[in-house]
């Protein structure tokens, strides 16, 4: 049998039962690899359930630093009898399978093209520990110990991580280390360690990664820190996976960093609302009254917030919403990742509305963009929606460290205080004095005589007086559109990368790819693979809506543009077609909407397929390239 080989390049998958404490053991495994300085991307693939259903944890190790999901399994660690048949079948030929052999493996689970490692996890733990909870929990740590021997993980790093994790709880540290050692020793004595797939510090790891000081963190925690640093004071929310941990983390940091030293009171307020309508209502109320306020939700919550998002758009109230996308609807696959709220968010609410969207691709960007979202919301006096997703929000990503410029000043936008009102020649809430569509707002309580106005939806004139006149309405919504144009200069510009040099080009078409958020990592990886195969593809990563002018030009400059995203309907493609007057034929969707993150392999396959079938159309559109 030819075994799979690879130094710092492989995929390990853990098959566990939900609620058995496997997640923290698997995290320990991934974090140890990260501490060895080797690029790693762990992914929790979990059911919408608290206990008892199958759950998986994928760990991709990539010397080049590819962080997207790879697909395929080189080694499976299976401690869930429920899913074992499927798990055995999913291992690539030449791969490895570690299992609990306390009970012998059923005949039908035996393959002759993979290598089995039986470790009597249950038996060992029954023998060593008498507390049933420990017996279950430490089983996970035993297999991490065995994996450390098989893959050559530095043992001292694992021990350090356990000491960090259980700081101050010496008994827990020693029982965990004991379990680790038991697994390690068993594997060393029983198997031929290490395997042909293994880790090596330094080794072939890409130099740009060796030189950097990466951190390992999830996007939701980063967004929460962004809210702290961005000066958010009011958070109103309703629990929903995968956004819950944004507010959980905000609460945790706020309790540490936002307590008034003199009084011990809180420089923040968090309200768990009765539903998402109320959560958004509270954010609107706080934003209207001059506090930086935000909420976090996912698809179903976005739907419920839609009416308020419309009001905030027309009433021009700053609002920050962090949408951690998942598969819809409520009873859909709530713990699976997608990028499928694009259109619902971009045009959220009835009437003519367009919302400002941000698309972070890394935890670092989740942090930066959340901070920026608070500035944008106040500068533009409108909702700003940060479009994260489950994959980015809940999984740990290797990311450049978070950075903070102590000279940062919150930009509260055009707000007139008492002095400002006194020195203003003429003030009307909706007078476009500067011609950029952004008017001057005032806050309740600011001035005894001036600046009070009645906030309402759209029935008003420039002086904020009630009006149902068609002319006033048109003037107002046209100004809002002007404001949306202005927003193009405020939001983060797209990122382009210099094309990869291709020696022998197999196509005469000028190809490009557009993508955003978590589609970016696998897209960059796919572009490198395709360059190797003779297809040079220029890339642009979209970071915000409204789209930057560069986007039109970029599309214009190419014959065929792939739009890579994670939903069924090519929502970003539709949004681009709609907003940029692009002929549909020019934009080809590359999609994955199965609930698991898109892979480079899927992108490569779809692009090659479409190049086979699409070139004829393109030739007819661009005769000069034939």
- Site residues for another protein, 394-413, by CB under 8 A, read 401-406, 408-410
**Of 174, 185, 204, 267, which lies in the binding site for another protein, with binding defined by CB under 8 A?**
267
**Of 10, 96, 238, 268, which lies in the binding site for another protein, with binding defined by CB under 8 A?**
268
Q: Does 153 sit near another protein (CB under 8 A)?
A: no
Cα R_g (the chain), whole angstroms: 27
**Of 111, 178, 447, 614, which lies in the binding site for another protein, with binding defined by CB under 8 A?**
447
Q: Does 286 sit near another protein (CB under 8 A)?
A: yes
State which of positions 297-326 bind another protein (CB under 8 A).
307-308, 311, 315
Q: Does 251 sit near another protein (CB under 8 A)?
A: no
| Letter string b/e over residues 538-559, b meaning 16 or more CB atoms within 10 A of that residue's CB | bbbbbbbbbbbeebeebbeebb
State which of positions 561-580 bind another protein (CB under 8 A).
none
CB nearer to another protein: give 311 or 598.
311
Stretch binding another protein (CB under 8 A), from 94-102, 146-154, 179-187, 269-277: 269-277
Which residues share a beta bridge with 440? none
Min dist. Cβ of residue 35 to another protein (A): 7
423 burial (CB, 10 Å; 0-12 / 13-18 / 19+) is exposed
Q: How many CB atoms lie within 10 A of CB 64?
A: 15
Stretch binding another protein (CB under 8 A), from 265-273, 497-505, 507-515, 551-559: 265-273
Min dist. Cβ of residue 232 to another protein (A): 8
Distance CA 439, CA 418 (A): 16
Stretch binding another protein (CB under 8 A), from 277-285, 504-512, 586-594, 615-623: 277-285
**Of 134, 137, 228, 385, which lies in the binding site for another protein, with binding defined by CB under 8 A?**
228
Distance CA 73, CA 87 (A): 9
Min dist. Cβ of residue 385 to another protein (A): 18
Q: How many CB atoms lie within 10 A of CB 471?
A: 9
Distance CA 67, CA 398 (A): 8
State which of positions 415-444 bind another protein (CB under 8 A).
418, 442-444
Distance CA 40, CA 620 (A): 45
Site string for another protein, 356-395 (x = CB under 8 A): ----------------------------------------
State which of positions 593-612 bind another protein (CB under 8 A).
none
Q: Does 269 sit near another protein (CB under 8 A)?
A: yes
Q: Does 289 sit near another protein (CB under 8 A)?
A: yes
Q: Does 283 sit near another protein (CB under 8 A)?
A: yes
**Of 112, 260, 425, 471, which lies in the binding site for another protein, with binding defined by CB under 8 A?**
260
| Letter string b/e over residues 227-254, b meaning 16 or more CB atoms within 10 A of that residue's CB | bbbbbbbbbbbbebbbbbbbbbbbbebb
CB nearer to another protein: give 319 or 618.
319
Q: Does 510 sit near another protein (CB under 8 A)?
A: no
Region class of 420: left (phi > 0), else alpha (psi between -120 and 50), else beta: alpha
Min dist. Cβ of residue 267 to another protein (A): 5
State which of positions 195-224 bind another protein (CB under 8 A).
213-217
Distance CA 513, CA 540 (A): 6
Q: What is the DSSP letter of 7?
A: E
Min dist. Cβ of residue 417 to another protein (A): 9
Which residues share a beta bridge with 167? none
> Phi and psi for 469 in degrees, rounded to 5?
-70, 135
CB nearer to another protein: give 270 or 619.
270
Q: What is the DSSP letter of 391?
A: H
Q: Does 445 sit near another protein (CB under 8 A)?
A: yes
Q: Does 255 sit near another protein (CB under 8 A)?
A: no
Neighbouring C-alpha atoms within 13 Å toward the C-beta of 415: 24
CB nearer to another protein: give 155 or 253.
253
Min dist. Cβ of residue 274 to another protein (A): 4
**Of 28, 197, 280, 356, which lies in the binding site for another protein, with binding defined by CB under 8 A?**
280
**Of 81, 120, 231, 428, which lies in the binding site for another protein, with binding defined by CB under 8 A?**
231
Q: Helix H segments across 541-587?
A: 549-556, 571-580
CB nearer to another protein: give 225 or 514.
225
Q: Which helix (H) or strand (E) holds 399?
A: strand 396-399
Residue 305, CA distances (Å) to 79, 276, 285, 322, 486 in order: 41, 6, 14, 12, 25
Distance CA 455, CA 465 (A): 9
Cβ-contact 43, 66 below 8 angstroms: no
CB nearer to another protein: give 263 or 613.
263
Q: Does 620 sit near another protein (CB under 8 A)?
A: no
Residues binding another protein: number (CB under 8 A): 75
Q: Does 130 sit near another protein (CB under 8 A)?
A: no
CB nearer to another protein: give 114 or 227.
227
Distance CA 58, CA 52 (A): 19
Q: Which of 603, 449, 598, 457 is nearest to 526 (CA)?
A: 603
Q: Does 285 sit near another protein (CB under 8 A)?
A: yes
CB nearer to another protein: give 105 or 418.
418
Distance CA 552, CA 555 (A): 5
Min dist. Cβ of residue 142 to another protein (A): 26
**Of 89, 106, 257, 474, which lies in the binding site for another protein, with binding defined by CB under 8 A?**
257
Q: Which of 224, 491, 544 is nearest to 380 (CA)?
A: 491
Q: Does 131 sit near another protein (CB under 8 A)?
A: no
> Phi and psi for 309 in degrees, rounded to 5?
-60, -35
Site string for another protein, 455-494 (x = CB under 8 A): xxx-------xx----------------------------
| Terminal-residue alpha carbon distance, the chain | 47
Cβ-contact 323, 517 below 8 angstroms: no
State which of positions 33-92 bind another protein (CB under 8 A).
35
């Amino acid at each position: 049998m030819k075994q799979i080989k690879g130094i710092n390049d492989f995929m390990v998958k853990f098959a566990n039962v939900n609620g058995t404490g496997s997640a923290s053991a698997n995290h320990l495994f991934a974090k140890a690899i990260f501490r060895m300085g080797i690029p790693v991307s762990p992914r929790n693939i979990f059911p919408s359930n608290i206990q008892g259903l199958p759950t998986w944890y994928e760990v991709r190790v990539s010397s080049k630093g590819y962080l997207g999901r790879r697909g395929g399994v080189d080694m499976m660690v299976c401690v869930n009898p429920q899913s074992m048949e499927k798990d055995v079948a999913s291992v690539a030929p030449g791969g490895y399978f570690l299992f609990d052999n306390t009970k012998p493996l059923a005949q039908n689970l035996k393959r002759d093209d993979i290598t089995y490692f039986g470790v009597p996890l249950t038996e060992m733990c029954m023998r060593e520990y008498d507390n049933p909870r420990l017996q279950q929990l430490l089983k996970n740590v035993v297999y991490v110990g065995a994996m450390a021997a098989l893959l050559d993980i530095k043992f001292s790093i694992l021990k350090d991580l356990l000491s960090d994790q259980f700081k101050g709880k010496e008994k827990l540290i020693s029982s965990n280390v004991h379990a680790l050692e038991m697994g390690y020793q068993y594997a060393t004595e029983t198997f031929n360690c290490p395997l042909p797939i293994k880790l090596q510090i330094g080794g072939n790891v890409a130099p740009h990664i060796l030189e950097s000081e990466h951190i390992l963190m999830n996007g939701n925690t980063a967004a929460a820190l962004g809210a702290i640093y961005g000066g958010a004071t009011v958070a109103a929310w309703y629990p929903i996976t995968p956004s819950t941990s944004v507010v959980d983390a905000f609460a945790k940091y706020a309790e540490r960093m936002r307590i008034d030293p003199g009084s011990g009171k809180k420089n923040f307020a968090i309200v768990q609302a009765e539903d998402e309508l109320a959560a958004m209502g509270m954010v609107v109320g706080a934003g209207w009254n001059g506090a930086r306020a935000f909420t976090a939700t996912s698809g179903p919550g976005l739907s419920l917030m839609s009416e308020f998002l419309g009001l905030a758009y027309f009433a021009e109230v700053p609002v920050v919403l962090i949408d951690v996308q998942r598969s819809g609807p409520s009873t859909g696959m709530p713990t699976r990742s997608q990028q499928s709220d694009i259109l619902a968010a971009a045009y959220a609410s009835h009437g003519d509305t367009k919302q400002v969207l941000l698309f972070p691709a890394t935890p670092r960007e989740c942090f930066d963009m959340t901070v920026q979202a608070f500035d944008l919301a106040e500068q533009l006096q409108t909702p700003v929606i940060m479009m994260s997703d489950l994959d980015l929000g809940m999984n740990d990503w290797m990311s450049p460290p978070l950075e903070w410029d102590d000279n940062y000043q919150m930009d509260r936008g055009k707000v007139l205080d008492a002095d400002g009102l006194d020195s203003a020649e003429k003030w009307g809430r909706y007078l476009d004095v500067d011609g950029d569509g952004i008017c001057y707002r005032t806050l309740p309580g600011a001035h005894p005589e001036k600046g009070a106005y009645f906030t309402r939806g759209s029935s008003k004139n420039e002086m904020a007086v009630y009006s149902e006149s068609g002319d006033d309405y048109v003037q107002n919504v046209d100004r809002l559109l002007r404001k949306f144009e202005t927003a193009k200069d405020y939001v983060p510009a797209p990122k382009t990368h210099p094309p990869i040099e291709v020696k022998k080009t197999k196509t005469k078409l000028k190809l490009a790819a557009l993508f955003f958020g978590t589609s970016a990592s696998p897209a960059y990886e796919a572009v490198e693979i395709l360059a190797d195969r003779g297809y040079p593809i220029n890339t642009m990563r979209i970071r915000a809506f409204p789209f930057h002018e560069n986007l039109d030009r970029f599309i214009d400059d190419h014959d065929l543009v792939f739009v890579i995203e994670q939903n069924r309907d090519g929502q970003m493609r539709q949004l681009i077609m709609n907003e940029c007057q692009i002929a549909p034929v020019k934009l080809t969707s590359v999609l994955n909407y199965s609930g698991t993150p898109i892979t480079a392999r899927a992108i490569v396959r779809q692009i090659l397929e479409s190049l086979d079938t699409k070139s004829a159309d393109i030739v007819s559109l661009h005769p000069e390239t034939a």
